């Protein structure tokens, strides 16, 4: 099992030098994303390090689904267990990211055995690859896609500051995307450390969002759901801040690390949604609450295009830009010195203004006024005319306000 890195070997400023540039997005059909939920706005939500081999059962997968997950990723190396995970996922009504120890070395043998399984979502290649790993992964990816072009291959990238020191971060993103062309970019970076927002958290979102657009691919991002080291036990505010920030930047898939306690003492993992004694912690219900709310607003974020993302506050996060120009329908927007993410999304003939309280401790006063014709998208997904509300709203820590107009 590969555990996420906590210590960064190189500073992000060094890694951002010598950045690669791509003027046009790729148009190779093999690189285009697969629609996991055709005709729906359902957000793909995946549980990372999920139900272990010894506990694979339909009941456990149903429990996972009830927490709002529609994709499962269990770390499994044996083929028989990997097939059992597919069976359980199918019976529970979700799908599984397939992992098997023999997949990379023997794709011609493994893929035909599972490629037609209804419980299959895609194939896991590797977590946080370095440059030295890429040639083998590139060959495996090519073979898997040739055998099964109907399911995605999955590669999860390092966060900024944690890559191979001989390859700047943006070069790393483009190198992996070119050599191992998966349909979307996935990366992990956990925003809350020592009960504060990590200094380069939004910088990483800025980079991934921008580079994914250059590559013509969507991106998937994470929230941390298991405490370890300097990462605290997550609460609802922390989870919402991470997930709504991901969506505000255009993420088209969401992931949690982890669902099940990994069981290693190296990082002192604790308070996972499912604990070592196989019971639910409070975090299980936090995750369930957040996922339910996100899906009620899924139509705002899925298949939307990011027009801009800006920030407010006395001191902007590293790598971000200040909100200086308001959308045409907005006549005033004031967060009264508090940190916020402000994103404008477009989808068909609709525009969505997304405002996230980018703080995990305090309420934010949001004063906002509009021209006529704007609606407020509430947490339950329903719409109400914005002018029915007072001009100044209280936005809780990590909470998100959404407004829409044509």
| Domains along the chain with CATH numbers | 12-301 (3.20.20.80), 305-405 (2.60.40.1180)
pLDDT at 165: 78
pLDDT at 266: 84
Between CA 398 and CA 406 the distance in angstroms is 27
pLDDT at 9: 35
Q: Say how many Å lie between the first and final Cα of the chain, rounded.
A: 48
Record the pTM: 0.93
- The SS3 assignment for 204 reads helix
Q: Which whole-number Å values give the CA distances from 352 to 184, 201, 216, 405, in the listed order?
A: 23, 23, 22, 7
pLDDT at 176: 97
Q: What is the dihedral of CA 65, 39, 406, 388, to 10 degrees?
A: -30
Residues of the chain with pLDDT under 50: 1-33
Tokens of 172: 């790393």
Alpha carbon 195 to chain centroid distance?
20
Q: Which whole-number Å values give the CA distances from 148 to 152, 213, 218, in the listed order?
A: 9, 26, 21
pLDDT at 265: 75
How buried is 216 (Cβ within 10 angstroms: 0-12 exposed, 13-18 middle, 19+ buried)? middle
pLDDT at 162: 87
Q: Closest Cα to residue 53, out of 78, 31, 71?
A: 78
pLDDT at 14: 36
């Amino acid at each position: 099992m590969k555990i996420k890195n906590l210590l960064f070997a190189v500073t992000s400023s060094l890694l951002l030098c010598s950045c690669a540039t791509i003027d046009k997005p790729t148009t190779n059909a093999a690189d285009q994303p697969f629609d996991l939920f055709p005709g729906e706005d359902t957000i793909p939500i995946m549980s990372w390090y999920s139900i272990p081999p010894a506990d694979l059962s339909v009941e456990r997968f149903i429990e996972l689904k009830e927490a709002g997950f529609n994709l499962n990723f269990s770390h499994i190396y044996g083929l028989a267990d990997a097939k059992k995970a597919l069976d359980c996922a199918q019976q529970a009504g979700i799908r599984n990211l397939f992992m098997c120890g023999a997949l990379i070395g023997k794709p011609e043998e493994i893929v035909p055995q599972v490629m037609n399984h209804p419980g299959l979502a895609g194939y896991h290649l590797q977590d946080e690859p370095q440059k030295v790993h890429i040639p083998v992964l590139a060959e495996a990816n090519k073979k898997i896609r040739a055998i099964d072009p109907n399911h995605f291959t999955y590669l999860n990238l390092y966060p900024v500051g944690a890559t191979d020191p001989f390859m700047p971060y943006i070069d790393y993103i483009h190198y992996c995307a070119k050599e191992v062309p998966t349909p979307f970019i996935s990366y992990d970076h956990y925003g809350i450390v020592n009960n504060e927002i990590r200094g380069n958290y939004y910088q990483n979102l800025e980079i991934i969002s921008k580079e994914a657009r250059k590559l013509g691919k969507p991106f998937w991002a994470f929230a941390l759901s298991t405490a370890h080291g300097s990462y605290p036990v997550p609460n609802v505010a922390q989870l919402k801040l991470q997930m709504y920030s991901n969506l505000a930047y255009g993420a088209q898939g969401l992931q949690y690390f982890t669902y099940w306690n990994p069981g290693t003492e190296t990082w002192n993992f604790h308070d996972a949604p499912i604990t070592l004694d196989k019971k639910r912690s409070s975090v299980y219900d936090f995750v369930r609450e957040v996922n339910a709310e996100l899906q009620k607003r899924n139509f705002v974020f899925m298949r939307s295009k990011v027009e801009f993302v800006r920030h407010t506050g006395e001191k902007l996060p590293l790598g971000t830009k200040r909100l200086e120009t308001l959308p045409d329908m907005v006549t005033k927007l004031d967060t009264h010195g508090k940190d916020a993410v402000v994103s404008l999304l477009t989808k068909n003939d609709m525009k969505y203004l997304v405002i996230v309280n980018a703080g995990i401790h305090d309420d934010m006063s949001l004063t906002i006024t509009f021209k006529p014709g704007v609606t407020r998208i509430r947490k339950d997904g329903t719409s109400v005319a914005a002018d029915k509300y007072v001009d100044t709203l209280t936005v809780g820590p990590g909470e998100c306000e959404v407004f829409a107009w044509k």
